[in-house]
Amino acid sequence: MRCLYHLPLSPFCRKIRLVLAEKKLEVDLVEERVWEKRFEFVKLNISAKVPVLKIDGMILSESNAIFEYIEEGYPDPPLLPEMMIDKVEARRFSCWFDDAFHRDVTSKLLYQRVYKQLSIGNQADSGLMKSGMVALKKHFIYLDSVLDERRWLAGDNMTIADFTGAAHISTLDYIGDIDWSRFESIRNWYAKIKSRPAFRSLLKDYLPAFTPPDHYSDLDF
């Protein structure tokens, strides 16, 4: 049986969960508190990071590498376009979320507000939180302009770019850091992804002491 070691609010893990669900690949979820550096887990991934996926007798780590394996081995439905230039755009957007958006926004809001308290019990750094909120607005202005012109992030069809973006944004939505009234194009795009069957398990995630806003699981938010 496939097994995914994950953290519920990790955007990198959520990306892989969405990919697996979209391709209808069943997987057992094992929550891994990576800050504990459990010996058995470190043996699976020396970096002691999630996600880690056991599949087809192999152990895979790093979300982009995991995605490429799944996309090659289980191509239906495809999450990369056929045309090379469109593939490049899908990968570019996916990398932008995992790199710039994560560095500027997700790491400063999600990890300060949630995982810093879970791992070391410290309160969030208000300076980093403020910086993250400023960056969120800046990046959302860019995304909103892109989605004013496109149905999906990389063009006419849903791709890994959309799942990566939704994975990051859904974690911020869980902690209530998004003002949806200001970004209509992003809201409409996110509502389309949120309503897909692949998204259902993410909407059921719950961390004790971190209750999401009511609209988090509402498909008509």
**The CA-based dihedral angle spanning residues 35, 40, 43, 47, taken in that order and rounded to the nearest 10 degrees:** -10
**Predicted local confidence at residue 74, as pLDDT:** 98
What's the CATH class of domain 84-206? mainly alpha
Give the HSE-up count for residue 54: Cα atoms under 13 Å, Cβ half-sphere: 13
The answer, yes or no, to whether residue 33 has pLDDT greater than 70, is: yes
Phi, psi of 104 (to 5 degrees): -85, -30
Distance CA 28, CA 217 (A): 22
Position of tokens 């507000």? 113
**Predicted local confidence at residue 122, as pLDDT:** 67
Q: Considering the chain, what percentage of its residues have pLDDT values greater than 70? A: 98
Q: If you average pLDDT over residues 121-130, what whole number do you get? A: 82
Q: Average pLDDT over the chain, rounded to whole?
A: 95
Distance CA 204, CA 152 (A): 25
Q: Determine the angle formed by the axes of helices 11-22 and 160-174, rounding to 10 degrees.
A: 130
**Predicted local confidence at residue 126, as pLDDT:** 85
pLDDT band at 208 (very low <50, low <70, confident <90, very high): confident
Q: Considering the chain, what percentage of its residues have pLDDT values greater than 90? A: 89
**Predicted local confidence at residue 121, as pLDDT:** 64
Q: What residue ranges do the domains of the chain occupy? A: 3-73, 84-206
pLDDT in tens, 173-185: 999 999 999 999 9
CATH superfamily of 3-73: Glutaredoxin (3.40.30.10)
**Predicted local confidence at residue 120, as pLDDT:** 61
The answer, yes or no, to whether residue 119 has pLDDT greater than 80, is: no
- Say if CB 138 and CB 101 are below 8 A apart: no
**Predicted local confidence at residue 63, as pLDDT:** 98
The more confidently predicted of residues 107 and 209 is: 107
Position of tokens 């308290």? 117
Distance CA 148, CA 153 (A): 10
**Predicted local confidence at residue 82, as pLDDT:** 95
H or E element that contains 68: helix 63-73
Q: b/e string for 110-128 if b means 16 or more Cβ within 10 A?
A: bbbbbbbebeeeeebeeeb
Among 40-54, 90-104, 108-122, 166-180, whose mean pLDDT is lowest? 108-122
